[in-house]
Chains A and B, each alone.
Chain A
């Protein structure tokens, strides 16, 4: 199976009050294309930092991140933005929809950036898939949390990403809504054949993936396949 993401000797340090703070240390793993993966760990373990580095949102202090064969460390921030636009989709715990855009417009943005055709129809199709075809003209603050996360899902899949990063996708949702959103996430992922990397401390959710990478104190402590793997 091909590798979509390769992490080698990855490290991240911050300068804080004159001290060097090591958040991630010597992380190594690869993610196979089309697989579903979970990064789990307690609060402050460095999992969100790891997600940011994998997705090209931040620069590493050591080691390399190779996404779809591209070494992100060699790119400028604008070049990484272009990589994100072409290959990456995102789901956030707090949805991160643009508050001044309608649900439909939020889904359209990645496509508009790529100057694609039939944008509106494709975005409407995606909203239909997440069950919000009739809510396209609503603004984020007019939607419930679950609805906002579904719009976020539609947006994440709109640019047909090769890899989807999800940061605690159910963290702000109640149990019932969480279940629906997770089902939708996995269904869409399966349908599109996208690689999924999700960061969570919800072990039940992690168990739905094929592989769990455990992090503690900035270090990789376990990497195991689940029953789905």
Chain B
């Protein structure tokens, strides 16, 4: 018989595979669109953040000079000595100086007072950019007389206008302009410490700069002639370091700002990534069901001679194509959303953000979308290789079960590796990324476990005594082709993320309000001169307010630790003391007993010094760790030029969360009483009205005394937290939308599977109401149990975050969780019912024909 030999090595016809992949999507495209929409929002979030990151990077590079305002800035918190002054005066071609400090400002017209940051300026600073004011010229003209430019929030708060006056210390200044933005200052910072610029030549007469005042001294330089700043700063470094001063160049600011925004964008990328992961859960389950529906087609193709690898490739091409389309749509959406980000972030960023299309971000987003959709689709897709052609002879759809391929373990491993690697790229920490991945994995396992248990238990629990509707509704949870697992995981994960965000926000805000409640101190008066101590206390009592605490504060530095100085540190790298320990200016107190926010952890508390012997001091726990200090270690303190030998007598644990004066170092009585010092007084004001009256009385009698109104700080902090939580909510919205899309997709898929049964029920005489009740019961049960599980995991996650990340006490707030529980459960039922409305409203025959 004449016969052609079998060509076992037939080459793969790649164009045909693409053609088949395309043809095979016909009639499924609307469903495939649902699959891709699951990844669209995750990709959109990431592309928007990446684009934002690149634009910010470009803006930092382009605007770094205006952020610092000069080629070089030098700053420190004590005046330069003669030697250093000579050096500082020799630098640069143009020079400016600034003294900044916190002080009370008084608005005579409205009689309002508030703590502000006074910046006394001399010279033409900033050399790059401008002090942005309204009117524009005020940023320069205020230097010509006794004038001030005042932060816009302050102007609004006290209803002040240009032409009004403001009192700083003993001097009145004419407000010549509204400060819109100081160089390098973000909007949020202005809310905490609003800035008032005054000319330096009028600083003296305010009477605010005295010994012990906490003033920051800054020197700004412009180099008109070319100079190697790297070389210059290297030379200056040891001298400035010795004087406890810091320097900054434009390059340095670029790096620092870049690093700060790197952290922000990394965090936001993770939130976006979570949305993407959530979408991938949807993709994996959707592809699983899609492939299961395709078994018959695959079997026919195998029968006609299509190889296993060819069948696999046909569907792989489809999924990559879908992933690509989803990613492109996501990237386009992300590029559009990117325009919103500068509005969302404007309060956190000290410069103008440009919005440009970032092809790099788009490329990254599309690549990521394709990789991740492919990885998650691979799980069900590898089973395509095992579909037997024998199915053409035997298969009915209900029997189609995809075999479990051993290669799936490899895919699981690839997915885990991908998540760890991606989070590492965002967090830059293997440990962090490992915890993140384990957290996600743990949540997956718990949710899958609960889903599994639910199916087992429901099967066991249902019995004939239940009404038909309940039995049918619950049976839907475990019968073949159920959506229990996918819905539990997707709804549970979405709920968990949203709930954690709410709980953490509540925890942080709760932490702040807790410390301001009751009869605790909520107003702090500081910079009280020793001579004013008694009169300030008297005035406080006259106003009917309690003096809750009055504490002396002495400023000092550490000169030596166990005989080692800062200079030794530079010579010998084996000394395990950070340099900052010597450079830092400590504010310490002296007393004979521990306060109620302190607990001794080591050594013995000595409340009184013995004349002629080394001074026994108590060191705070964190400082002892940082400076590697143990009981008995010798420390030489420098108190305004006088050296004082001391030793570590005890180590204390301090509750910094309590609103009262806390200290890193506490001296015994009998040593510092005569050292230059200032006093701090703590009181409690019952209302804003009393607070305003008291502040006015203090400022008019003691203009040098500064007041922190904790109520105001709290409201600013609350505003800040609201802004932060707005940013987080904005980002988590992507997760929520993805969660809803996955929910809609999952429910829609189940609709195709349920349709036959619902129609059968209707044909047998079930009323619309009954079908409605069965569907509602099923989705209510699924939604509520998923939400409950997600919330329980969120409580656990928040506890871990509170204990290990924020290190604050964990308190449970059930209200947001309860609201979330009902919102998610009801939303699930609504989506479930909306999807089933086709079955409810149309005659059975019509549906059967349409879905045949």
Chain A residues proximal to chain B, CB less than 8 Å: 2, 4, 33, 48, 51-52, 57-58, 68-70, 77-79, 81-87, 90, 92, 96-101, 105, 109-110, 112-115, 139, 141, 155, 162, 167
Contacts and interface: CB of A to CB of B under 8 A. Distances in A.
B1 A33 contact: yes
12 contacts: A78-B309, A84-B304, A86-B4, A92-B392, A96-B392, A98-B300, A100-B26, A113-B16, A113-B306, A114-B10, A139-B27, A155-B304
Contacts of A101: 23, 26
B24 A81 contact: no
Given A48-B394, A81-B306, A167-B393, A58 B388 contact: yes
Nearest to B852: A141
Nearest to B305: A85
B305 A99 contact: no
B392 A57 contact: yes
A194 B3 CA distance: 13
Contact of B3 (A68, A98, A109, A110): A68
A37 to B, nearest CB: 17
Contacts of A68: 1, 3
Nearest to B28: A100
A92 B394 CA distance: 10
Task: Please report whether the interface of chain B is mostly helix, strand, loop or mixed according to DSSP.
Answer: loop
B766 interface: no
A105 B296 CA distance: 17
Nearest to B7: A82
Contact of A109 (B10, B301, B308): B301
Given A85-B304, A100-B23, 10 more contacts: A58-B388, A81-B305, A90-B392, A99-B27, A99-B297, A100-B27, A112-B19, A155-B304, A162-B3, A167-B393
B6 interface: yes
A113 B13 contact: yes
Nearest to B9: A82
Interface string B123-135: 0000000000000
B23 A105 contact: yes
Interface in B9-46: 10-11, 13, 16, 19, 23-28
Contacts of A112: 13, 16, 19
Contacts of A110: 304-305
A109 B304 contact: yes
A217 B306 CA distance: 33
B760 interface: no
A51 B394 CA distance: 12
B389 interface: yes
A33 B28 CA distance: 43
B393 A52 contact: yes
Interface of B: 1, 3-4, 6-8, 10-11, 13, 16, 19, 23-28, 296-297, 299-309, 388-390, 392-394, 852
A97 B300 CA distance: 8
Contacts of A48: 393-394
Greatest chain A CB density within 10 A among B19, B306, B394 is at B306
Contacts of A100: 23-28, 297
A48 B393 CA distance: 7
A68 B299 CA distance: 23
A115 B13 contact: yes
Nearest to B303: A90
A172 B304 CA distance: 21
Contacts of B309: 78
B302 A81 contact: yes
Contacts of B23: 100-101, 105
Contacts of B302: 81
Nearest to A168: B393
Instruction: Give the 4 A-B residue pairs with the shortest CB-CB distance, closest first.
Output: A85-B305, A100-B26, A2-B1, A78-B307
Contacts of A85: 304-305
Contacts of B24: 98, 100
A58 B300 CA distance: 14
Nearest to B27: A100
Contact of B393 (A51, A69, A82, A99): A51
A52 B299 CA distance: 13
A68 B28 CA distance: 40
Contacts of B307: 78, 81-82
A196 B213 CA distance: 107
Contacts of A141: 852
Nearest to A100: B26
Contact of B6 (A4, A82, A96): A82
Nearest to B25: A100
A23 B225 CA distance: 98
Contacts of B852: 141
A70 B306 CA distance: 19
A198 to B, nearest CB: 13
Given A96-B300, A141-B852, A83 B306 contact: no
Nearest to B396: A94
A77 B25 contact: no
A85 B307 CA distance: 10
Greatest chain A CB density within 10 A among B10, B301, B308, B309 is at B10
Contacts of A109: 301, 304
B10 A82 contact: yes
A112 B25 CA distance: 18
Contacts of B389: 57, 81, 84
A78 B308 contact: yes
B8 A82 contact: yes
Contacts of B304: 84-85, 90, 109-110, 113, 155
Contact of B390 (A58, A86, A105, A115): A58
A147 to B, nearest CB: 15
Greatest chain A CB density within 10 A among B6, B305, B390 is at B305
A13 to B, nearest CB: 15
Contacts of B10: 82, 114-115
Contacts of A97: 300
A96 B13 CA distance: 23
A98 B301 contact: yes
A139 B8 CA distance: 32
A57 B303 contact: yes
